[in-house]
Amino acid sequence: MSLLILVRHGQSIYNLENRFTGNLDIGLTALGEEEARQAGKKLKAFRFDMAYTSMLLRARESLRIILEMIGETEIPVVANAALNERMYGSLQGLDKGETAAKYGPEQVEIWRRSYDTAPPDGESLAATYARTVPYYKLEIEPRLRLEENILIVAHGNSLRALMMYLENISPQDISKVNIPTGQPRVYRMDADLKIIDIKYL
């Protein structure tokens, strides 16, 4: 049996300011750091063989805090851009409320939640899936088959893409999925990587 645990990074400065963050390298707020500490507390009973994260500061810092909390600072950590948040193009850095006022809330909702519609000059969830899931299959699935326990700390959309693959969620249904910050999602898998159970801690 193996464990895969996904954690969305703690609150970032742009989350707090209600701005589109995308792949801008924005740090955590004090609350975001506390969310990472709380995630670490929830994970103290677990032991990991490997941890993965994105290249972006908010995810790497969240992972660092989590590993400090659980006393696992010596495990191998791999950071890869395949796990980065999706690129929001010309919307990056803009206030979400002001953007909704300019383009209409329906259009902004489509950009944010749909599977295959990208924001202007940005990446769709489908494009995020096309880089995140192949990386997961190539690098992480083989370790799970060896019954290793894996921790991934990444972003709302890269983790939504992984959830689509892991849980066979349709492009229509994924639009309703919102991953909370700092809440570990635990997948327990058998030797064939069939999911035995899933839960948030």
**Element (DSSP H or E) covering residue 132:** helix 125-135
Q: Which of 9, 61, 72, 155 is catalytic?
A: 9
Give the model confidence (pLDDT) of 26-47 as tens digits: 999 999 999 999 999 999 999 9
Counting every residue written for the chain, the total comes to 201
What pLDDT, on a 0 to 100 scale, did the predictor assign at position 139? 97
Q: Which of 35, 61, 72, 85 is catalytic?
A: 85
What pLDDT, on a 0 to 100 scale, did the predictor assign at position 44? 96
Per the listing, tokens 């990991």 go with 48
167 catalytic residue (yes or no) = no
Domain hosting residue 44, numbered range? 2-200
Give the model confidence (pLDDT) of 134-149 as tens digits: 999 999 999 999 999 9
Q: 10 Å Cβ neighbour count for 76?
A: 9
33 catalytic residue (yes or no) = no
Judged against a pLDDT cut of 90, whether residue 151 lies above it is answered with: yes
Give the model confidence (pLDDT) of 50-65 as tens digits: 999 999 999 999 999 9
Compute the CA torsion angle 31, 101, 128, 10 (nearest 10 deg): 0
Q: How confident is the model at residue 73 (pLDDT cuts 50, 70, 90)?
A: confident
Q: Encode burial over 114-149: b for 16+ CB neighbours within 10 A, e otherwise.
A: bbeebbeebbbbbbbbebbbebbeeebeebbeeeeb
CATH value at residue 27: 3.40.50.1240
Number of domains in the chain: 1
d(CA 114, CA 42): 32
What pLDDT, on a 0 to 100 scale, did the predictor assign at position 135? 98
pTM over 0.85: yes
Strands 2-8, 150-154: parallel, antiparallel or unpaired by DSSP?
A: parallel
As beta bridge partners, residue 7 has 153
